[in-house]
Structure 1
Amino acid sequence: MLSLHGKIVAITGASGGIGEATARLLAQRGATVVLAARRAERIDAIARDIREEGGRAATCVVDVTQAGDLRRLVSGAVEQYGRMDVLVNNAGIAPISPLADLDTEGWTAMIDVNLRGMLNCVAAALPVFREQGSGHLVSIVSMAGLHAVSPSMAVYAATKNAVRTIHDGLRTESTDGVVRTTAISPGYVSTDLADSMTDPHIRELTRKNMDAMGIPPAAIARAVAFAIEQPGDVEIGEINVRPTVQA
């Protein structure tokens, strides 16, 4: 196993689920983590836990739909630690429903958080990565970004597929070895993502599926660590992680 000691890693959506698990695991493996999310009390509590266990952690209140918040996250990490090696774009929501429900507010919210939030990460981090000569963007995408697994997931799947496409575009622009990109697509993971689903039937079905087959967020955190731990001349472009029982 390669070491994460000395790596400075910022993580959006770090107040719970995959983001929290990733922050805890990377800190355990020696990285300095900057937890970013809207819930200040929650990320502060997680950071305290990490520090009490001997890790290094800081926090930054961030709404990924606000480009200025992402710039503040990145510039703050550079100011405090001298660099930022990895940005984990994890924040996401899923107010999914059938298209026939015409939930235009939900569509807009998914586009703003899942897609525009990712672009805000790119805009904030890419200049820093270029200036310092290296950097790694990791995005938590979704198996839904590979294909729409449910008729109700059309817009959600579209945002996630768009993130994968942008990742591929950034990869093709970065063959000079400066910027690495990794898209990690989870299947069912036991998180609170269902809380953002507005359709009560879909929300309940999703929770049942998570209870029946969901893998722990730590499984995705291990995939993030694996990608980051690779030497600089190795890029893990995509990783799909799902329960063995998921079709």
Structure 2
Amino acid sequence: MTRQNILITGASAGLGAEMARQFAALGRTLVLAARRTDRLAEVRQQLLRANPGITVLVKALDVTDHDAVFRVFAEAKAELGTLDRVVVNAGLGKGQPLGTGYFHANKQTAETNFVAALAQCEAAMTAFRAQDAGHLVVVSSMSAMRGLPRTMSTYAASKAGIAALAEGVRADTLRTPIKVTTLFPGYIRSEMNARARKTPLLVDTEPGVRAMVRAMEREVATACVPAWPWTVVGYAMRFLPLRVVAKIA
């Protein structure tokens, strides 16, 4: 099944913008949502220059404004007729070890990566249930496989939470025309990890997102992306002793 009308949050840069480029090359109709409307406008112009004839809508959206999430999703559905795929991609990566005086940063990450993602899933499922069809894609993280130490603790917990939420929605929509995919990206170059320490497992944005798009197009239930080496790494993370995971995280 071709999911023609695709809404992507966090689409002004990084993985979201690259998803837009790759879906545009497939001729899809796009709704790009993010806070930075100037960046969205630049992405839109790039897409239209490279792919004349496609439709690209841009929507200003701060996903932590939950009323705005519902409004923007409803507007997009009204303008296009249907929302065929929604990619819950917007996220935040900052955080500090608990108990070190940075509750505000951890709270912001938790609210963005879980509560705001919940709002996006709720708004998407409202549209999908009304039209009895749709594909919900949730971008989690390989960090969701285990609890992680230091600056990753809240981020990992929030990504594990949204993965569990997506699985719950999948269980609720089994044997229906509504499909749910959870992506667990490994280290893919983006704005979020631009300052991260060097790692031999880091892949460039374009091939990393290509793996994500392939998994979305197959509409698999879950996928570690890129599959190599992250499927193996994910298995190891789940079963290695915590003291080992804590050292390598």
Where on the TM-score scale, by shorter chain, does this alignment land: which range? Answer: 0.7 to 0.9
What is the DSSP-based 3-state SS (H/G/I as helix, E as strand, rest coil) of the residue aligned with 2:7? Answer: strand
What is the DSSP-based 3-state SS (H/G/I as helix, E as strand, rest coil) of the residue aligned with 1:180? Answer: strand
Equivalences for residues 111-190 of structure 1 within 5 A = 111-190=110-189
1:143 is displaced (CA, Å) by 0.5
Partner of 1:66: 65
Q: 1:170 to 1:98 in 2, by over 3 A?
A: same
- Please give the TM-score of this superposition, normalised by the length of structure 1: 0.85
1:213 is displaced (CA, Å) by 3.7
Partner of 1:101: 100
User: With CA pairs under 8 Å and 6+ residues apart, which has the higher RCO, 1 or 2?
Assistant: 1
Q: 1:69 to 1:9 in 2, by over 3 A?
A: same
Residues 208 and 226, structure 2, Cα contact 8 Å, conserved in 1: no
Partner of 2:214: 226
Deviates more, 1:213-222 or 1:176-185: 213-222
Q: Give the whole-Å Cα distance in 1 for the aligned partners of 2:45 and 2:68.
A: 22
Letter in 2 for 1:241: V
1:207 is displaced (CA, Å) by 3.9
Instruction: Verify: 1:215 aligned to 2:203, yes or no.
Output: yes
Q: Give the whole-Å Cα distance in 1 for the aligned partners of 2:225 and 2:213.
A: 13
From 197, 219, 223, the counterpart of 1:239: 223
1:242 is displaced (CA, Å) by 4.7
Residues 7 and 33, structure 2, Cα contact 8 Å, conserved in 1: yes
What is the DSSP-based 3-state SS (H/G/I as helix, E as strand, rest coil) of the residue aligned with 1:148? Answer: coil
Partner of 1:22: 19
Residues 188 and 243, structure 1, Cα contact 8 Å, conserved in 2: no
1:208 is displaced (CA, Å) by 2.8
Q: Give the whole-Å Cα distance in 2 for the aligned partners of 1:140 and 1:50.
A: 22
Q: 1:149 to 1:104 in 2, by over 3 A?
A: closer
Residues 6 and 84, structure 2, Cα contact 8 Å, conserved in 1: yes
Q: Deviations over 1:126-177 (max 9, x none)?
A: 1110111101111111100112344431111110000011011101110141
Letter in 2 for 1:225: V
Partner of 1:13: 10
Q: Give the whole-Å Cα distance in 1 for the aligned partners of 2:47 and 2:160.
A: 33
1:108 is displaced (CA, Å) by 1.0
What is the DSSP-based 3-state SS (H/G/I as helix, E as strand, rest coil) of the residue aligned with 1:99? Answer: coil
Partner of 2:246: none
What is the DSSP-based 3-state SS (H/G/I as helix, E as strand, rest coil) of the residue aligned with 1:100? Answer: coil
Residues 134 and 178, structure 2, Cα contact 8 Å, conserved in 1: yes
1:79 is displaced (CA, Å) by 1.7
Show structure 2 runs of 5+ residues with no match.
234-249
Residues 129 and 178, structure 1, Cα contact 8 Å, conserved in 2: no
What is the DSSP-based 3-state SS (H/G/I as helix, E as strand, rest coil) of the residue aligned with 2:64? Answer: coil
Q: RMSD across aligned C-alpha pairs, in angstroms?
A: 2.0
Q: Give the whole-Å Cα distance in 2 for the aligned partners of 1:220 and 1:88.
A: 16
Q: Give the whole-Å Cα distance in 2 for the aligned partners of 1:190 and 1:148.
A: 22
* Count of matched residue positions in the alignment of Structure 1 and Structure 2: 229
- Please give the TM-score of this superposition, normalised by the length of structure 2: 0.85
Question: Percent sequence identity over matched residues?
Answer: 28
1:217 is displaced (CA, Å) by 2.3
